[in-house]
Amino acid sequence: ATSRRWTAASQRWAAASRWWAATSRWWAMKNLNYQKILGKMLRQMQGIGLAQMDTIQLLNRHDIKFVFEQGKLLPLLICLSRHYRILEVEGQRSFKYNTLYFDTPDFFLYRQHHNGKKNRYKVRVRRYLDSGEIFLEVKFKSNKGKTQKTRKLIAEVPYVLDAPAYQEVLKPMGRDLEIGVRNFIPTLWTNFRRITLANPEDGERVTIDLDLCFKSEITGGKVEKKCGLVIAELKREKAAQPSEFQVVAKKLGILPSGMSKYCLAVGLLNPDIKSNEFKTRIRSYLNSDVEKVS
């Protein structure tokens, strides 16, 4: 009897999840106040300030990415609202970012990720549009699966990385790679809106990026792609047990993915570049997405 009750409950959960996903997809497709509904949902969640959020910075962490269609965002947030708090700064609960990525002309850093190399790097300049702050950031993914992020507050967006002030951030990467930092050029911009959730008790952060737009810097901005997909990232110090986010995401059919915003953008903006590892995933995401790519 207990087993039957659990089965029935699971079936009800699955049916509700499908209904929410279909309804949310319909709202997004018809543009019937989707942003208004999302904003209301965010305002109903319990907030957390920057001071408490800074206690779980997680610059050295395990992270897992999830890519999913926008229609699943509302049911995901509803299910997470009991366990996670949302970052609020001066009354705002979602924030605009744009990021300039650097790579070699032949996309050396991208190819390392595509080919599954460990001990790989990502170089970017991130601009927080709401506060005006700009950071030069280097992310290092170790062969143990941990991500370490080093960042430096800078005055303006650079297009060349040879300034002495940047070397404290870039020096470790220059030692490890067979290419020099001077070979890096700006390759593309990503623009997006971010929602940040936190579970202080478990020492977790979840970032949810939506309203994605990618623009090629190599073509002078002439190639641009807008994408209705959502990219979430679970960040925590230890990865021993599944988090509440993983449990909820799995029930909604949101599964882990190695696809980052940079890799997705490179694949969409550069159709001739090698992307066999990502093509199937990109195609499956876009086939189920309401807005697809324009």
114 falls within a domain:
yes
Grade residue 114 by pLDDT with cuts at 50, 70 and 90: confident
293 falls within a domain:
no
More confident call, 293 vs 226: 226
pLDDT of residue 189: 97
pLDDT of residue 257: 87
Distance CA 95, CA 195 (A): 7
- Please provide the average confidence, as pLDDT, over all residues in the chain: 83
pLDDT of residue 171: 79
209 contacts 261 by C-beta, under 8 angstroms: yes
Distance CA 225, CA 190 (A): 10
More confident call, 172 vs 16: 172
Grade residue 289 by pLDDT with cuts at 50, 70 and 90: very low
**Which residue shows structure tokens 């911009």?**
189
* CA atoms 183, 188, 194, 197: torsion sign: negative
In this predicted model, what pLDDT tens digit does every residue of 22-40 receive, in sequence order? 655 555 555 557 888 899 9
257 falls within a domain:
yes
Domain carrying residue 267: 2-288
The alpha carbon of 6 is separated from its chain's Cα centroid by a whole number of angstroms, namely 34
172 contacts 192 by C-beta, under 8 angstroms: no
In this predicted model, what pLDDT tens digit does every residue of 37-64 receive, in sequence order? 899 999 999 999 988 887 776 666 788 9
Grade residue 96 by pLDDT with cuts at 50, 70 and 90: very high
Report the pLDDT averaged over residues 228-235. Answer: 93
pTM greater than 0.95 (yes/no): no
CATH number reported for the structural domain that contains residue 284 in this entry: 2.40.320.10
More confident call, 131 vs 177: 131
**% of the chain surpassing 70 pLDDT:** 78
Grade residue 4 by pLDDT with cuts at 50, 70 and 90: low
Total domains in the fold of the chain: 1
